[in-house]
Chains A and B, each alone.
Chain A
Amino acid sequence: MSAGDILAPPPSAQGPASRFAGSLRTFVVKLADEPLGMFGFAVLLFLVIVAILAPWIAPYSATSQNLAQALQPPSAAHWAGTDEFGRDILSRLIYGTRITIQTVLAVSLIIGPIGLLIGIVAGFVGGRTDAILMRATDVVLSFPSLILALAFAAALGAGLNTAIIAISLTGWPPIARLARAETLIVRNTDYVAAARLYGASRTRLLLLYIAPMCIPSVVVRLTLSMAGIILTAAALGFLGLGAQPPAPEWGAMISNGRKFMLDNWWVAVMPGLAILITSLAFNLVGDTLRDILDPRHAR
């Protein structure tokens, strides 16, 4: 659960594996009470499996063109129809999950630790450090993320990696603020006071006492912001600044479909549905995680 449990395995009859199984079981039991959250988790699990198995389950290639089959409506052969180059949209969507999940994972692995670190250091050290860090956060927070990402993508050249870096650049301030607020609460608790009394060093307090208390809310916040990350990534793709053609990025697919919107609705609608369902699933999971991890929101 906490970083401390991994750092120092205490001797006990019960092994860490069975302990982990125990916490996992309580988690699943709590999850069973939340049908919507269950649905969200199922969707996310499905997406991950699809992303991993994409080459095996996709009926067609995602990139090879077949102009004879261009702009076919949904049918038994092409469940989601084909686009203007005759590429099977379902296959493209399936491969597209890889790009989406890659983006989401990369962004949260960047902004989670950075936001957490900046937040807890600012909250714990206080004083001038706090002021400098939080003003920097405010400055970044006041940039509209899409515009900054646009500028960034324009400067570094369009591409998936640029998109990930651009989104991350504007993604960490909310996390940092949240972590700082949590730290301010935890810093003044009696168990931290007791730890000071038995001589715990600042690093120890920060890493073993304060950070673990902030992680649950940071995880919740990250999950909830993933929907936004997906949408921003799609928007960048739509504007042609994310993953480059012929990569099957969902936003770019909508952008292509725009031209045929009136006569061939499925070209734009199918990737749109994929984006909708995925961000919805992330939001549901985030809400459920908050209910489970954060006792203050307990019903």
Chain B
Amino acid sequence: MIDVENLSVSFGQGPARTQVVKSVSFSVGKGETLGIVGESGCGKSTVLRSLAGLDRHWEGSIRLAGEAVDPDRRREQLLLAQMVFQDPYGSIHPRHRIQRVLAEPIRAMNKGPGWDRVGPALRQVGLPETFADRFPHQLSGGQRQRVAIARALMLEPDILLLDEPTSALDVSVQAEVLNLLCDLRDERNLTYVLVSHDLSVIAHMCDRVLVMQRGTFVDELTRDDLQRGVTHHAYSQMLFEEAVNGLRDVHEVAPVLN
């Protein structure tokens, strides 16, 4: 579904030029969920934004559904992959009602008015249809993220790119959103690329995890590896322990947990 070869991304000019992503290659099969984990600045979001078509500075080759895409996407290529952003407060137009938020993708693509699609889209993400009339600020963070997911699915892409979709949410709401994402994936046979700094979220969602550090992948873990706690790199080991224990040995006195 996704084939990436030698993807490099650099920002800046001349001596200030820094390479954020250093020639990475990976592929994701149809219906598979790939996780990319790493800390801020490691380049994981840049990879995702290049896949989505938001960053245009990349070199290498990206193929979505077998079709090579250019840094400047054509409209048909945009239909292949849509993205869900981290901050549900910033990713929805604050002055549009929910029905307009959801109809906009259809309208922008000149596929008709789109109003008739709003109701089913809301139901599909578990929100009542009466929400169509509301403004985003009248919704909670979790509800907004559901709207953002519904919007990303309006154009019926095969690939959904998830950029820290739950890190701005409370743990309890995070569980609801992750469940929703799992249900949608099973229903529609979607392919996900999930980027997060939280390995426990990644491990819950993904079939395969790439650990990213300073612009390159340092480790690749399968679902099986994660369950058995197997890692192949010191850095992924650290991430893993943090995810399991909440913390590494902070103090020597017997911790409450364990």
Contacts and interface: CB of A to CB of B under 8 A. Distances in A.
Interface residues of A, number: 26
Interface string B88-124: 0011111111011001110111000101000000000
A235 interface: no
Interface string A1-40: 1101100101111100000000000000000000000000
A194 interface: yes
Nearest to A215: B95
A198 B82 contact: yes
B54 interface: yes
Contact of B95 (A11, A12, A13, A212): A212
Contacts of B105: 198-199
A193 interface: yes
A1 B95 contact: yes
A197 interface: yes
Contact of B104 (A1, A11, A195, A212): A195
Nearest to A3: B95
A247 interface: no
B204 to A, nearest CB: 24
Given A14-B133, A189-B90, A197 B104 contact: no
Contacts of A5: 97, 100
Interface string A177-193: 00000000000011101
B83 interface: yes
The 9 nearest A-B residue pairs measured at CB: A198-B105, A190-B91, A200-B108, A190-B85, A190-B90, A191-B93, A199-B75, A2-B95, A199-B78
Given A14-B133, A197-B54, 18 more contacts: A4-B95, A8-B107, A8-B113, A12-B133, A13-B133, A190-B90, A191-B94, A194-B83, A194-B85, A195-B104, A196-B53, A198-B78, A198-B82, A198-B154, A199-B108, A199-B109, A200-B104, A209-B93
29 contacts: A1-B95, A2-B95, A4-B100, A8-B107, A10-B115, A12-B132, A13-B133, A189-B91, A190-B85, A190-B86, A191-B94, A193-B54, A193-B83, A193-B91, A194-B85, A195-B108, A196-B53, A196-B54, A197-B53, A197-B54, A198-B78, A198-B82, A198-B109, A198-B154, A199-B75, A199-B78, A199-B109, A201-B108, A213-B95
